A and B are shown apart, each in its own frame.
Chain A
Amino acid sequence: MIERYNLFLHAFSQEASKELQLFSIIAQSFFQPYSLMDNLLVIMTALTAGPGLGFNRAMLFLTEGDGLKGEFWLGPASAGEAESIWRVLSTPGIGYPEIIEHNRSLLNSEADTLTKRVKKLSYPLYKEPALFPALTASARQMILVRDARNEPAVDRDFVELIGTDEFLCIPLVSEKEVLGEIILDNAITNLPIMARDIELASVCGLMAGNYIYTAKLQKRIVDMRKVAAMGEMAMFVTHQLRNPLVTIGGFADQLLDPNTGKKKQRRNIQIIRSEIRRLEKILLRLSQFFRIDAGEKVAVDLQEMLKLVQDSARARIAGRRITLHTEVEAGLRVIFGDPTHVGEAVRNVLDNAIDAIGDEGQIDLRAYRENAEWAVIAVRDSGKGIPEAVKNKVFDSFVSTKERGMGLGLAYVKKVVDASGGRIEIKSTEGSGTTFKLYFKTYPRKKGTTT
């Protein structure tokens, strides 16, 4: 017999302790697609959520440069408010989004003076004389401060701010780094901080440290990938520009040679001109490629756009035995995207289709509604198909099977479709053609209005 359980538990059995529920909430925050701040807030909420368990208030500092910077301070203004937060958290089946929503509203509310005050704080981590709370983080130890007003090791202004004599400082650390600090107190209920509370807080502190560290690593990986991609791009651009430049230079040198005949001179000038046009085209495509994200999403009139695209495709196939068949579903008018880029993307797909065909074949350009949400622009060609070896690389930048390909065409198409919130599907059989389907969101038409 097999029993299955959701790894991400929402509801707990009667016997489950509140600690267990708390740890479950915190552990789940690692897997949520929210921002680091949102998830840290959840950890803080969990730490302060229970009357009789946990703490009244929690303050978070994160390391910035050589110091600790105040981020937020969470806590109820009264015991009654604390009760209500716990009720929210322990509602059966409550989802993560609700907790996040609750937290955000708490922080954004005018009444949240705690966070406003703590955001102004920053403490140097490694400056003498070292005082608490900053000393906690650099010492990598949990510190319980009692009788703060008479304790010389505590920063005076901080005592003033926190307004209570007893608080617990928990360092957030990774193996080598100091990542931040959490400060907990019971200023509302005035209950003393017990050994059990400290144990609980230590586990939460370790998990939060772990989480910040992981998030930092992730960010570093993304940055490294970006740098690597930039490097590859720079190399590629150099190569793309060098070839036409070398050609122009070489044939220009020949022009200067007095032995070059009239006929050859003319030919050289033509070659130089065509290479200069190619350089222009390369620059245009590169600048287009990097500008996509800046585009705005607006309603694009499909009929009009496809007509323009079709006209330029017809000009390209003139003189070849290629038939272009176009079909746009009646009533399908608007999709969501940047009009220039969407048009250019479809033009790119059509250009690919023409290149794949060569001299003879058929292209079908169709636009239709897939369902209420999606409109599809499909381009089918009877060309040579995409070779198996490059099938999963077609959208990578700088991968091309064409002699003079930039490898930007389909990468561009994908970027445009992604930016508009859509997706692309490809079906291709080597030797018998390819179908590209670009999915765009249809423009939401409100009831009772006409577009």
Chain B
Amino acid sequence: MKKKLLIVEDEKNLCLLYREELTKAGYKVTAVMDAAAALEQIKKQTFDLIVTDIRMPGKDGIELITQIMALRKDIPIIINTAYQSYKHDFMTWAADAYVVKSASLEELKSKIKELIG
């Protein structure tokens, strides 16, 4: 069975890129563009892992992580963001991994593999 990923990314083109590349890597990918849509999906179906940006319009990624943890405590979460500076922020400790966005998706892919195979 393919592992199921939820991608939360507010940039349309990046959202598309992640969906294509992670599908190619063998995952079943659901990609949404904001936190509200992400919560809706989480209530609807079970995911093996969530990749989310922080600092998005509307609900922030951190707030989303808090809510996900309240709903499904055991889902691993990867923060995938353009900001390097939040890496050591206490608010991001709750996540299982912190990846700074890069044109190469290798780090993101290897972190996903590490967490769920």
Question: Which residues of A line the B interface, CB within 8 A?
Answer: 235, 238-239, 242-243, 245-254, 271, 274-275, 400-405
B104 on interface, CB distance cutoff 8 Å: yes
Partner of B21, one of A235, A250, A252, A402: A250
A247: chain B residues within 8 A (beta carbon): 11, 13-14, 17
Partner of B57, one of A242, A250, A403: A403
When each residue 53-90 of chain B gets 1 if its CB lies under 8 Å from chain A and 0 otherwise, what string results? 00101000000000000000000000000111100000
B48 on interface, CB distance cutoff 8 Å: no
Partner of B104, one of A242, A253, A401: A253
Total of A-B residue pairs, C-beta within 8 Å: 55
Residues B69-117 near A (CB distance < 8 A): 82-85, 101-105
**In contact, B57 and A246 (Cβ under 8 angstroms):** no
**In contact, B17 and A250 (Cβ under 8 angstroms):** yes
**In contact, B13 and A275 (Cβ under 8 angstroms):** yes
Question: Given A248-B103, A250-B21, A254-B20, do A271 and B83 touch, yes or no (CB 8 Å)?
Answer: no
Partner of B103, one of A253, A400, A404: A253
**In contact, B104 and A235 (Cβ under 8 angstroms):** no
Closest to A275 in B: B13
| A402 and B21 alpha carbons, distance in the complex (Å) | 27
**In contact, A246 and B14 (Cβ under 8 angstroms):** yes
A238: chain B residues within 8 A (beta carbon): 82-84
A401: chain B residues within 8 A (beta carbon): 57
A274: chain B residues within 8 A (beta carbon): 13
**In contact, A239 and B83 (Cβ under 8 angstroms):** yes
24 A-B pairs with C-beta separation under 8 A: A235-B85, A239-B83, A242-B82, A242-B101, A243-B14, A243-B101, A246-B14, A246-B82, A247-B13, A247-B17, A248-B103, A249-B102, A249-B103, A249-B104, A250-B14, A250-B103, A250-B105, A251-B13, A253-B103, A254-B17, A254-B20, A275-B13, A403-B10, A405-B57
Closest to A231 in B: B85
The smallest beta-carbon distance between B56 and chain A, in angstroms, is 9
Closest to A249 in B: B103
Q: 6 closest pairs, A vs B, by CB?
A: A249-B103, A242-B82, A239-B82, A250-B17, A247-B13, A246-B101
A246: chain B residues within 8 A (beta carbon): 14, 17, 82, 101-103
**In contact, B82 and A271 (Cβ under 8 angstroms):** no
The smallest beta-carbon distance between A234 and chain B, in angstroms, is 9
B33: chain A residues within 8 A (beta carbon): 403
| A405 and B83 alpha carbons, distance in the complex (Å) | 16
The smallest beta-carbon distance between A178 and chain B, in angstroms, is 39
The smallest beta-carbon distance between B93 and chain A, in angstroms, is 20
